[in-house]
Amino acid sequence: MNEDGNMNAGVWIIEAEEMAEAEAITAADPYEQAGLFETKLIRHFLKTAGWATEKMLQ
């Protein structure tokens, strides 16, 4: 949120086999389709705590 309390950022965490799959998922977002985002940045992150994540979801 910015100083005025308006949303100005967001984060998605997507598990995808290829970058194209992540791009397709974000492109299908209604807010993206409406052109509400000024910028979009997709980055690859190395999954290093998968075992912990899976245990937390059980």
- Residue 42: the pLDDT is 94
- Residue 45: the pLDDT is 84
Report field, pTM of the whole predicted structure over 0.75: no
Q: Which residues of 4-23 are buried (b: 16+ CB within 10 A; e: fewer)?
A: eeeeeeeeeeeeeeeeeebe
User: What share of the chain in percent tops pLDDT 90?
Assistant: 41
Higher model confidence: residue 8 or residue 31?
31
- Mean pLDDT confidence for 41-52: 77
CB-based contacts of 19: which residues, under 8 Å, 6+ apart?
A: 42, 44
pLDDT tens digit string along 23-39? Answer: 999 999 999 999 988 89
